[in-house]
Amino acid sequence: MKPETQSLSPFFQSRSCGSHWHYWHGDFAISSFGSNPPDPVGVKGLRQFLNDDQQRDWLDGKTKLLDAAEREQSLEQRFKYAARFEKLLRRSQADEVLAILELYAEKCIPIPRSTERFYWSVSCLPSTSDKPLVRVNASWMELFTLLPDGDGLRSRIIVHLADFTTDGSAEPEHLDETFLEQCVERPEDVSHAIWRGKAILIVKVRDAKSIRKFLTDPRALRAIRAFNLTHMNRGRNAYQASHCYSVADCMVGE
């Protein structure tokens, strides 16, 4: 496994988008507001839908959450990215991308239909330097990205470092590399980078089979859920404007 270390600064790209900025730190995306956009009620983020006990039970795999039957949609937003979705479908990796995204939504996002766009979003062929196929975001943070790897796939999965250390600390020296390698089909399919300033681990997994195995390993899945809960509870999603409903159809059903 090839370890890398990324420091908090400098950000080497930035782009204005309305009232906020998108930054690409190393090879993953975050967004910065002067302050988070307000939620419609006093309670922020996911806690408007699920209390702490419900979230904890979902995190531990003890409950199956009841999601909304209907999805809130914007036709204008749907048409905005329809052409990009058609372009994605012409890529050789399209079927694998959509199947993995469906798995990700089922396993890693709580009540994805109820929280779609406003508390998580998926971008289709976002125009950033790393040329991803799709990217899932919540609040200001990237959660999960699929990128081309020749005719295959590679992924970037963002988690709390402490969930992958031998002692539960946020110390990079304590990273459990053996466990990381056990989460994929072949040890050479996984590498990582560490964002020291935020105690964040960027897990890079190659090959669709290894990506699927990582997303379904019980301990890795719990870590993904924990990170996603953290950011879905921060408030409204900063990437609402880039949400692609056509991709989301394949994730959560029409």
pLDDT in tens, 79-115: 999 999 999 999 999 999 999 999 999 999 999 999 9
**Domain parsing of the chain, residue ranges:** 3-63+93-252
Q: What is the mean pLDDT of residues 60-84?
A: 94
In a 10 Å sphere around its CB, with 0-12 CB exposed, 13-18 middle and 19+ buried, how is residue 229 labelled? buried
Please give the pLDDT value at position 16: 33
Q: What is the mean pLDDT of residues 63-83?
A: 93
Under the banding of pLDDT at 50, 70 and 90, the label for residue 214 is very high
Question: For residue 10, is the peptide bond before it cis, meaning its omega torsion is within 30 degrees of 0?
Answer: yes
Does residue 244 have a pLDDT over 70? yes
Distance CA 97, CA 140 (A): 23
| Residue indicated by tokens 């921060």 | 234
The DSSP output letter for 194 is E
Distance CA 191, CA 37 (A): 35
pTM: 0.84
Question: Helical H runs in 38-196?
Answer: 52-59, 75-80, 82-89, 94-108, 112-115, 177-182
pLDDT in tens, 116-172: 999 999 999 999 999 999 999 999 999 999 999 999 999 999 999 999 999 999 999
Q: What is the mean pLDDT of residues 193-213?
A: 93
pLDDT in tens, 5-50: 333 222 223 333 333 333 333 444 444 333 344 445 577 899 999 9
Please give the pLDDT value at position 120: 97
